[in-house]
Structure 1
Amino acid sequence: MLIDKDSKPKDTVLYLSTQLLKKIKSQGRIELASLESLYHEVDDKQPLFKYNLALNFLFLIDKVNVEGGELVYVSEKNEDS
């Protein structure tokens, strides 16, 4: 993932990913229809495409999944199980 060195850290997709993950983890499941309100809770000044990129990143690293119209937090898997 490329990070623009001219951007403020709080304006990067990586930072938005961590903020989204905190919210998703605390709620467990979020309806896809209400994602925009979740974005506004994190930072309403950021463009929506950055949040979509952040969600794509979280999906690619197996931190979130989509199940039945909901975004679901994927908990850490125990290697011993």
Structure 2
Amino acid sequence: MRSSAGASVVCRGGAGLDGPAGSFEDKVRHKAQEAEGAAKEKYGDITDDERLQAEGQAEQDTANLKQAGDKARGAARKIKDALS
């Protein structure tokens, strides 16, 4: 994955990121992906590039699904903690 600045960004899977810091990192990464998608879509709007518009929207949709997963994981963690 490449950031908007052109630098490589390494995305790790959920393994090993179960702690609070990992969860925060995931949330930040997913929010950044959403912002990158919005920027790409907007640039596609400005330049009339339908491919960029579609890619930007797809990135936003993917990020939103990941954010929903983050919220579900957080809710499950709260339930687990309440039952412990």
Q: Which has the higher helix share?
A: 2
Q: Which has the higher strand share?
A: 1
**Structure 1 length as normaliser, TM-score?**
0.29
Larger radius of gyration: 2
> Which structure carries more relative contact order (alpha carbon 8 Å, separation 6+)?
1
**Structure 2 length as normaliser, TM-score?**
0.28
